[in-house]
Structure 1
Amino acid sequence: MKHILLLFLFLGSSLSAQDNINFELISNFPLPETGNDIWGYVDAEGTEYAILGSVEATYIISLEDPANPRQVAVVPGTTSTWRDMKTFQEHCYVTTDAGADGLLIIDMREIRTDSVAFKFWRPELIVNTDTATLARCHNIYIDEFGFAYLAGCSINADRNDRGALILDLNQDPWNPVYVGAETRAYAHDLYVRDNIMYASEIYNGEMGVYDVSDKANPVFLGSAPTSFDFTHNIWISDDGKYAFTTDERGNAFVDAFDITDFTDMKKLDSYRPLETEGRGVIPHNTHYYDGYLVTSWYTDGVVVIDGSRPNNMVKVGAYDTYEGPDGGFSGCWGAYPFLPSGLVIASDRQTGLYVLRPTYDRACYLEGTVSDATDGMAINGALVEIESEQLAFDNSDATGEFKTGLATSGTYNVKVSHPDYKTFNGTVELNNGEVTELNVQLERPLEISVEIMVLDEFTGDPVPQAQVKFYNADRNILTQSDSDGIVTLNLFDESYIIVAGSWGYRYATAEINPLDNTSMTVELPQGYQDDFALDYGWTVEGDAETGSWVRDIPIGTPASGDPDNNANPGNDVEGDVGEQCYITGNAGGGSGDDDVDNGTVILKSPPIDIEPLTLGAASIDLLYSVWFYNGGGNNMPNDTLTVKLVTTTSETIIDEYTSNTDGWVDVSISVDDLNLDSPVFQLVFETADRQGSGHILEAGVDAFQLVFTTSVQDASISEFVKIYPNPFEDVLTIETESSEIAQLNIFDMMGRRVFTVNTSANIERISTQLESGIYLLQIQTIDNQEVSKLIIKE
């Protein structure tokens, strides 16, 4: 059923995220060690069981009372990160991708007596020209005809030939019979139905399809690449028309394919959880159940996608089993949705078995087009957002089409925005299982010419090539002042925040709406500040293979062996301007995916000249925030983050880190105490990963500034100089007995010069427009310099 609407403008509300949707936690059963995959089993009496792998064993857990799971058997095996299992009739088959367990076979017929028989089946097999004992396999699938397909086994000498070993379980489930192999490419996982085998050929980054009607002679039918080039798992829709895949990489998707023609398989859609988009979360395994994709998504837990419209996949359920940071290989490994009770059982690597009761509701779909209100042409790249607790948005494509949706029916505001158009908002009624069609026409806004003058706050001179950023919720415009300190550009008739800055100055911020004001002066205080909201051209050097310094919004990665903390930060320093900082690598994923590896990375500031700013300053403090993490590896972490001030002739180490900072750390260092040989220097951050150490090494820098402060306690005046009245309100008199006054300067308590006058007299009267407060008066005579505390009254 479709509802067709044409929307026009009004105001909307904000977005927020929702963690758990349409799931009820029934119970959680922890394991004594790290877990891995999971499968389900039902005995002859109808009792349901969870079969759960760990790094040390295979656990069989009774769900006779789902609220109180009970362990009934444990089968120990080789220590391995990977265990996968499937069942056939009254037997369970477990693969282990380490050691030499071969294929673990468990006889489940006596399971109700808390007893199982098991053996490790290690036959000698001949595959092509290779003969070897079956030692390990990565995965297993058992089809509806009683054939087992082992993936990624150790028989073939060349790993790339390890596709599928095919076993007949019908003759004797306790003693499988080897009947054939497919060895075109390494398979990480397999799915087989109607004698068609779908292979997750992970190192080829594609889904391979084979006809296995003749088990001794599989026939290749076709392949299709998946979106992140690391095909990990495949499941097929009940009607056999669609395939759904995962790529085991940070920020990857569940992909949907039309597979009605194996020679021309077409990708229809890709989905990843919007709430954690860009944070390196990794999909692991997806299973198709009655049109839903029940997916284990590592740190996101269990995610249920409505796949009944494979060209518009929408999240309709979620349960987060993992409380640590986003990204990496912690959290939910597997989720099994096929128990007759309808329960979903999931395995979390850190916290064990989860028994969950899902509520399966079809998605509420919103689909339509975005076009230009004047000429009717399609608009590419318009952002369509449903404003709800669950994030739901899409960008229109080249034809103007968009598709999105959410889990819960209701009346919602919809926002449609594009940088070149006015933002439109409207109301839609969304219902579960229905498609609401929305066609939006966007109008081009009024453009108004705006002129911004960027000046030095103290001298009043123009600041050329200053960076000026204009932004609001929909737009982010970065420009630069010309040689006269002027920025001229066209802005839409809406409000903007301005951030302006230049190296050698502190930031200045302002607000502007071109309807109210078409010209503005922005004054930059002298000094140094860089929160990395603007790009001042810090330089990056080094020879490390990965993990070079980048200026970006940080993507957190979990710390090695400590999932509750991050190796790479997940945010910049709170309270500074903007969201960017400098970090060593920022690709997301696991902690070792883009950390500093096998080399050095160096970050250098532009040259800093403190001499023009020190007049009247009692002290100069260098402030910055730093992040450092060093863990994991082949030995004790021994890497270092070093901070240096470098002049043309010297190098001074001012700070050093050899242990984790456990977050952002604020640093303040007195420059005066360093006795530098030059007022011009660079700030340098250097860290290195020792060759072959395997350590996880991450560093970050943010919130740099130089602070110039005065000290009224140190202010002194000689008996030859008179200042009166002090405090003063309107006019201040300065009188000397001997030398003429050459220059008077007034500094505020941040060390900024706020008033100056040149003269050549023994007596000077001055009047300022300064606000009331405490200041520092510097009197420069021909012979010497005098400094005094100065108070201006209200």
Structure 2
Amino acid sequence: MSENRFMCSRAAVAAAAALAAVLCGTAQAQLNNQDWRKLADPGAPIYGQPIVGPIVARDGDAGGFPASNITLLSWLPLDQFPNEQHSANDCWGYVSPSGREYILLGLQSGFSVLEVTNPVSPVQIGFIPGNGSVWRDIKVIGHYAYGVSEGGLGIQVIDLSDVDNGNVRHVTNKTQSGHSSTHNIIANPDSGYVYLSGANIGNGGLIAVSLANPEDPIIAGAWTSRYVHDAQVVTYTEGPYAGREIAYCFTGRRGLDVVDVTNKNNMFRIGSTTYAGTAYCHQGWLSEDRQFLFTNDEMDEGGAFNQTTTHVIDVSNPASPSEVTTFSTGLTSTDHNLYVLGNLAFQANYTSGLRIFDISDPFNAEEIAYLDTQPNGNAVGYHGAWSTYPYLPSGTIAISDIERGLFLLRLGESGINFDFPEPLPVALRPGLTQTVRTTPFADGVTLDPDSVTLVLDTGNGPTPVTMTDAGDGTFEAALPPGECFQTYEFYFTAQDTEGRFYIQPFNAPIDGGYIAAVQTGDEDLFADDFNSDAGWLVEGDNVTSGGWARVTPVQGNSVEPDSDADGSGLAFVTGTTPGESLFGGPAILTSPKFDLSATPHATISYRAWYNIDGNLAPNLFVEISNNDGITWSDVTSHAPESGWRDAEFVVADLVTPTDAVRIRFRANNVVGNAIVEAGVDAVVVNTPTCNPCIADYDGSGTVNTQDVLAFLNDFTGSTEIGDPDLNGDGEVNTLDFLAFLNLFVAGCD
């Protein structure tokens, strides 16, 4: 007798029937689990600049994502997580005793724990590594999280008791009775049990796990009649099922099974149902009164139904469930996971993102909000929003997106926006204090006036400055005097009376705030509209057609520019004739040499065109050299997009300015199965100028009455020697005149 058969016999003799089913049952999960389809259609991770909101949905958009009646708080792409994550999966939440809020996000190689108390700035607190897998699932009971994966390791126990202090403890990877891989984990906090579904033991059925010792989960029994893909398990407190623990099991092509799991040694089915078009009953959630079960079928879209369909099942009698109605988003996408909070259903529907329905009347459900995390279509398939978590007390909602990572949002378009009574300064005068003003206005919320803050970085890190209420809803703060060529970066924040956080500009500080430089003017060192030959070098030994050429652009195909960018007539584009596409490559366009050795603050700006038709080709790459082209450093790359776009960068941010600076533009179409069109125009090398002594207005080196006359001429508009708007408020008035007089009296050192 083999050792395994001997163990099974002993288990049977011990009369632990349920446990024996776990130990001896042949794992049949793969026969019923249709998730191999995801592996057959993998999606590449979509990285991007993180978004810091809040961004209120306006005109069907929030931060570049289709949206309605939501406020996007933040987006954290996959490249913001450790260990080169290529996909995300499940998400769940945790609230510490202090009230701080956390999201637990499943990733390809583990679980990330993020604090989202300030949802516009999620902070990763810890990472629990695991075997690589597309599938993870995680739930929380008490201050412990329990994670599973189809990659193995059993149950990962995670202690969150000290998470407020930045500590997440990986307690153990608990394997037992041959258990290693699991598709989903279900939690019933009322009973203190978690349940495994789709595991590699017990026929892939429902496995009950006791948390009597929360750091040592122990299998207590199983229902193994069939594969269970997912479940919701609840304890009834009233009615004929009071005191009984009931599991609503979603069993794929077999529909819904309702199982009494009160006695872990004797779990039994009390009811079951299918519905018209049952293809793969995947997951669902009860209404809060437990009269209805809202169910998604992961394979009926594109089959029995041509639109995303939610099946509403009457479970007022759990022993006799039956479908009573359906409702739809009207889109074609596949649905995946949904959860119910109050009278709202939150649906993660893959390629159509998060859809929120009012289900107060299940027979007339109405979509009230959405955020489409996959803006490029609503096709049937397994890309996009995997799951959602809507239960944080603050109202923050999480979406886990397979290719795009973590989104945080809230329902509704209320919030605080910032107006500015005068233009914000972009140039500051040396030695002068500059006042900035904002008028925050609240829409649907109440502003906390003590929270209005200017966050200012003068070069030593961001410092919050509480703004003063100046009356009439205006708040003001001072930018301190600076020295020539110093750069200030600043942004504005405020909170409502519920403690929700708002920021302007919306993606500060990740994308940067408002920029103001201490200078008195600027000078173009080089400006090329390409109407004459300024010495640009065209290379492309492997270009078979469509190399760089200085011509008048004429559109000859759908992705080619129909004009130059600056209106001068000429530009560098790929191809000398209309419709001539780039083939081969790389095609390289290199600038003449710039001497920037005496201009450490120089910037380079240009306008670029890059668009394609067909299979994806590499981006348009921009590079810079400070040794006359011997070595090159990356500046940026431009992805395909219709239209001319503006770009600018500070040379010193990338290389040390020397007397041998060049830039170059590189495009190619080596595969040759796409139409590729690139263009460059309006290249400008500029440097700021600064006179540290504003009183010496005419720049003669001496402060005298000639400076007063020069200022007055500029003040009245007779001349343009300098800029008489000394306080930088966008207006020339008596305040500027008084400022100049004060500077004139003080003189210069």
Q: Which has the larger radius of gyration?
A: 1
If the length of structure 1 is used for normalisation, what is the TM-score?
0.41
If the length of structure 2 is used for normalisation, what is the TM-score?
0.43
